[in-house]
Chain A
């Protein structure tokens, strides 16, 4: 009975849990409640993904109103997979958050922190699960507003300035999306994604639809933080509390990538986006620049969080690059990279949180000699970093392999060269981290540090271990991603 309502529970559960969290005034109570909710969500999303893979698309009608008039939640291989990624990251970050949050945020605000965290999760899950375009806008604003607050909770006063900057850019992006939705509604009279795609295919030459495509794409690219719309990202990730950086880096941009995939391939369709509209000519150069600029700027950073934030901009370039190929291997690469990058970057930011917890600083110089004092944390950081480079046997290798394959299939060897060049640049910035941690002596007056507590190490290593496991056993991730790619490219099977 209840299993048929799982799709809506996935969104309703954290939404209801958030105000309850506010009422639980004791930090430990709020934390355990939020953690339990996140585990329940993970269980639900696993059940849903299994059902989608076995039975095909799940369509849930909210309140029993049939689409296209009612709101529909529509789960297929693509968003089933993304839902799993988001809930998995949340289920790992929340257990970690207790100690990290306790050291970075004042105690009376802890229950509020968990409440806002759950709201951000609600928004991200809602964007992913829904099949209604206006719903996407509303959930995007829910998740964004919650993210602004989460970032503003960071310890430095610059967190507030960063959150404000993000608020301005994020709201412009979301409003662009709203303009696009209005233009689409004006021309088609529907808000249901599946219904819209049929009607757009019927009348692809109307100018408002072309304008809507431009507005929606730019709105989504701001959320995705693709170069040159990435300006909000480095500050936001750098000054947010550690647990928030990890959660946002691993989930928010991934949802942006999912929305891009959904709009480009399901809503507008491949033929419209790539043949009538010059999406490839725009997206591909931008993602290549993002790869080079993001990785290149990362090399010169001395703040570790900022370093990996710029590395994220480079990795988002890889995601967008995969989309811009519009081929099976390109999309497989992009979708696998959504998963792999979530695991690697999540793990890296959690490891940075461990360092922050013990040393109180995240300057590159704070790492000096840390390889011996915090061996497990540093090992996690290094493995995650090597994953970003794309060393074989890490999951980063798998995604880059598919992207390279896509570049070669499309006869674009300069693109393949840039993909490899990006990896080399990644090697440089990861190399700086390794050098500081293992080959430099600690400052003589540095206090003796010990390993981070296991409650923080275990979640870090779960993500890092996942990124290693799925670097070797690729059947699950690549299998699902290939199915999703086929479906997006218009294959009829679910």
Chain B
């Protein structure tokens, strides 16, 4: 019951905290997404740890193996990884669209740009986006 038998849990907690901190404290949308991924990965680690049985192998139906790890958390996490990747994809796509229309991925600059248009009669019309569409073509491909 000392620190090292629970090292995975400590790692999961630390990763989750770092990830959440990045989401909250960083203004850059890409860095927020990185933090979000880190946070989700920490939860995956938690699940995998739950399924581990000391000395257990993969669950193979054979008389030679009697002790094996619980495969269910692994399967759950395969699903959760798919979810996490899709979330990241949608997030990055939105970040690209935001970069195209605002010319920045910094949250404070986006907010400043929003309140600037609010003052200059923002009617939520399509035309507001026109002037920003040009400066996006280059850096997005990296």
Contacts and interface: CB of A to CB of B under 8 A. Distances in A.
Consensus secondary structure, chain B interface: helix
Contacts of B97: 152, 160
A361 interface: yes
Contact of B87 (A134, A138, A145): A145
Contact of B124 (A163, A178, A362): A362
Contacts of A160: 94, 97-98, 101
A9 interface: no
A161 B80 contact: no
A100 to B, nearest CB: 15
A178 B43 contact: yes
B128 A164 contact: no
Q: How large is the interface on A (under 10, 10 to 19, 20 to 34, 35 or more residues)?
A: 20 to 34
Contacts of A443: none
A186 B86 contact: no
Contacts of B91: 164, 167-168, 171
A171 B124 contact: no
Contacts of B16: 179
A137 B47 CA distance: 14
A156 B128 contact: yes
Interface string A344-377: 0000000000000000111100000000000000
Q: How large is the interface on B (under 10, 10 to 19, 20 to 34, 35 or more residues)?
A: 35 or more
B10 to A, nearest CB: 15
Given A164-B95, A168-B32, A158 B76 contact: no
A157 B101 contact: yes
B79 A138 contact: yes
Interface string A160-176: 11011001100110110
Interface string B63-99: 0000000001100100110010011001100110110
Interface string A183-198: 0011000010000000
Interface string B91-129: 100110110011000000010001000000011111011
A157 B124 CA distance: 8
B87 A164 contact: no
B106 to A, nearest CB: 12
A285 interface: no
A30 B110 CA distance: 35
Contacts of A156: 122, 124-126, 128-129
Interface of A: 134, 137-138, 141, 145, 148-149, 152, 155-158, 160-161, 163-164, 167-168, 171-172, 174-175, 178-179, 182, 185-186, 191, 239, 360-363
Given A156-B125, A164-B94, A171-B40, 15 more contacts: A145-B87, A156-B122, A156-B128, A156-B129, A157-B128, A158-B114, A163-B94, A171-B87, A175-B40, A178-B40, A179-B16, A182-B47, A182-B50, A239-B124, A363-B123
Shortest 7 CB-CB contacts between residues of A and residues of B: A157-B101, A156-B124, A157-B129, A141-B83, A160-B97, A164-B94, A186-B50
Interface of B: 16, 20, 23, 29, 32, 36, 39-40, 43, 46-47, 50, 72-73, 76, 79-80, 83, 86-87, 90-91, 94-95, 97-98, 101-102, 110, 114, 122-126, 128-129, 132
25 contacts: A137-B80, A138-B79, A141-B86, A145-B86, A145-B87, A155-B124, A156-B124, A156-B126, A156-B128, A157-B98, A158-B114, A160-B98, A163-B94, A164-B29, A167-B94, A171-B40, A171-B91, A172-B39, A175-B39, A175-B43, A182-B43, A185-B50, A191-B72, A360-B123, A363-B123
